[in-house]
Amino acid sequence: MQQRVVFLDRASLQAEVRRPTFAHQWQEYAASDVGELPEKLRDATVAITNKVPLRAATLRQLPNLKMIAVAATGYDVIDIDYCKANGIAVSNIRNYAVHTVPEHAFALILALRRNLFAYRADVANGRWGQVDQFCFFDHPIRDMYGATLGIVGEGALGQATAKIARGFGMKVLFADHAPPKMPGVEFTPFDEVLATSDVISLHAPLTPETRNLIGIKELRKMKRTAILINTSRGGLVDESALVEALTQGLIAGAGFDVLTKEPPKDGNPLLDLRLHNFILTPHVAWASEGAMQFLADQLIDNIEAFVAGKPQHLVT
């Protein structure tokens, strides 16, 4: 049987994507709107999506669809319950970003702990030439060594982030949570992690249980000298609460690579912040050249394995 494979948002992956070895028709689109999906996927047996949502209302119109290959680790854009009930396999990408995401997280951590953006702005504004000594101390500079990093999410990315942290001489705490839990990990109560960490880094999936995991109550429990890092999913943090925390000085700073809705065509409260202690990057923590090529290769491996009757990396 010849498969029809449709890639809905090819422009979201800047890597070479090899064609499957089985008999197939291949169709790719740079981007896709939800309203276009019934026509674009009309005869598809395999759909590839990175961030294009595939919900029940769409999936009901696609009787030939047998597999959804998610070009990412997170699969919250897929109606998993519908797929389970209707025999549609869903695969995701595993362990492709174990270097690039933790490195990006630490780029944010280092910039914020040392107030690099604030000092860079001061220099650009002529502050250095106005002082009477060789340096100035307008913003606090805090070491990594001896600081405590609290991690929410002890999967591959959380573990890789912890490894880097230990290399800096940081103490690492993994926040406790409901099962399932990674075996062999020592957990610390969530509230204790909030209260004692100098840096909190989020590496959890977005689920109904983790949505708005960090709100104003949690932000008030953090140290005023602490920073919050999110390279995971925007919905983990109440964005309005974060604006309040930053503008009121409840925490020392935040570095985010994600927003609740992406792209933020209708605006977002975080886009309006003009603070040196807040860094926002456009969901690129995952996107090193090496990581994207690894993802592209595994994406096709997942599809080939499914067609061969030996599915791998299934989430349903």
Residue 28 identity: E
Can you read off the two tokens belonging to residue 292?
């994207």
Q: Which domains does the chain have, with CATH numbers?
A: 3-96+290-307 (3.40.50.720), 100-280 (3.40.50.720)
Report whether pLDDT(146) > 90.
yes
Positions marked catalytic? 233, 262, 283
> 203-241 as b/e, with b when 16 or more CB fall inside 10 Å?
bbebeeebeebbebebbebbbeebbbbbbbbbbbbbbeb
Predicted TM-score (pTM) of this structure = 0.90
Cβ neighbours around 57 below 10 Å, total: 13
What average pLDDT does the structure give for the chain?
A: 97
- State the Cα–Cα distance between residues 188 and 165, nearest whole angstrom: 17
Can you read off the two tokens belonging to residue 66?
């047998």
In the prediction, which pLDDT does 1 show? Answer: 79
Residues in Cβ contact with 5 at an 8 Å cutoff, skipping those fewer than 6 apart: 20, 24, 25, 26, 27, 44, 45, 46, 47, 48, 303
In the prediction, which pLDDT does 316 show? Answer: 83
- State the Cα–Cα distance between residues 141 and 307, nearest whole angstrom: 54
Task: Note the pLDDT tens digit of each residue in 172-199.
Answer: 999 999 999 999 999 999 999 999 999 9
